[in-house]
Every structure is written in structure tokens, then in C-alpha cells.
Amino acid sequence: MSTSSCVFDFRDSTVLVTGASGGLGAGICRVFAEAGARLAIHYHSGRERAEALAATLPHPERHILVCAEAGDESSVAACVERVAEVLEGDHLDVLINNAGIYPVAPLEKITEASWREVLDASLTAAHLFTRSALRLMGSGSSIVNVASIEAYRPAAGHAHYAAAKAALIQYTKSTALELGPKGIRANSVSPGLVWREGLEEAWPEGYRRYVQVAPLGRTALPEEVGAACLFLASGAASFITGADLAVDGGTSVVAAQDLFRPV
């Protein structure tokens, strides 16, 4: 395998990013677009944000927008069919399962409906997109699922979210096991707190406490998580599958009670 910069050249690659209209998804899209990839930018309700994102990417004419309710089987299938039409016989090289939601609720107030909503958005969606996209993928294709450090160290108020992300990591490992013989790799990334516009104002005390105890003294930028996804999808990670990569600035080694307080 070449160790030159060509392993990060995605000019001949098509990448589907789910949940791309949000801050983290947009950062992932920017990283892959700057590496030359043609993007299928998935959104559910944020079409205006997805359009604005696509317009700012290198070679905006190359990218397409695809809409789907991430936890709905028929909606996802239709979304992937749209990608297939654009590919015109080519392979889908990379699937980034980033769709998800992040509500906060005490355990005793998590209803069945809210529990299912979180699991559908953060776990079921990854399965539906993976299963539907497999017919477009082949040897050399790669799947990267966006999990969370809360899969290992949950915070109070996030029982449904932490459970979904922990399951997503095991789903990733199962995917790697089953698809390895086909030459398809599957890995996950587990970000810590990721910066978004307005975060400091919306969660001032939590943000201050987090950056104070984080070894690198700050939150992640969306593009830094995107760079980890790019690495795992690239030839530089050609012998890595079934792995989970923490992208948390070292917060995994900090005591959980120092990072979070009960809701």
C-alpha cells in the first residue's frame, strides 16, 4: 500500500453522509469535499441548511441532496435509490452514518415514544442505510458510523442516547465481521463534545466545566471528527475494520463525574 498523500485522494469517490444538515454532518461533508469526493448529502427536515452547505463546498455542481426520514425503511430505500440513479453503475465508496438526535431527559421521564425516537434516529437509521446501501457497495468500500464516548461513559439524562450509541458500536463490529469477506470495512468514531454555534451560550456552565477538565482544553471541531472519518475511510486504514476511534481530545481518561453533572 502506498503511504503517500494519494491515500487521502477521494476525487473518484462517492460518499453518502447521513444527517448532513447539522453541524457535525456539515463538518464531515466539508472534509470529504475538500479531499475531492462527490457527496450525497442526506437531510430530513433541514433542506435549507443542506442547500446552503452544498453551495459552500468545492465543486458544488458535483453534489446531490437526498431526503429521508432516517428511521423509516421505505424512506431510506427511496433515498438510496436516488443515490443509485446518480451513480449510474458506479460503486458507493463510503457511507457515513451520522444521523441521530441528542435529547436530554431523566430516566423516569423517558417515555416509550421518546425511547424509540432516539433509537430509531441513532441506531435503526444506521442499519437501514447500511442494509439499503450494500447493493451499491463492493470490495474497497467503507462504512463509518458516528457513535459517542457516551457509549462507554454515559452522562445523566442520556440513557436512551448512550444505549443507542453503545449498541451502534457493537453493530459496527458485527458489520465488520459479516462484510469483511466482501472486502467492505466498517468502523466507528466516538466524538466527545463537538462545538456548534451557540454552544457556549446554550450550556455555559457545562461548556466551561468540560473545557476546563478536558486534557486539550477545548471541544472538538466538526471538521476534526470529519478528519477521523476520512482516515478510517481511506487507504491509510486499509487493514482497520471493526474498530472504534475516540475523537475526544483525551476526555476518555478524565473521570466521568468531572465532565458531567446530573441533570
Q: Which residues are known catalytic residues?
A: 161
Give yes or no for a contact between 105 and 143, defined as CB atoms under 8 angstroms apart: no
- Nearest of 241, 243, 242, 189 to residue 220 by alpha carbon: 189
Torsion of CA 144, 24, 164, 207, to 10 degrees: 140
Give yes or no for a contact between 140 and 183, defined as CB atoms under 8 angstroms apart: yes
CA angle (242 as vertex; 229, 2 as ends), nearest 5:
60
Residue 4: DSSP 8-state:
S
CA distance 75 to 128: 10
- Nearest of 174, 104, 91, 105 to residue 140 by alpha carbon: 91
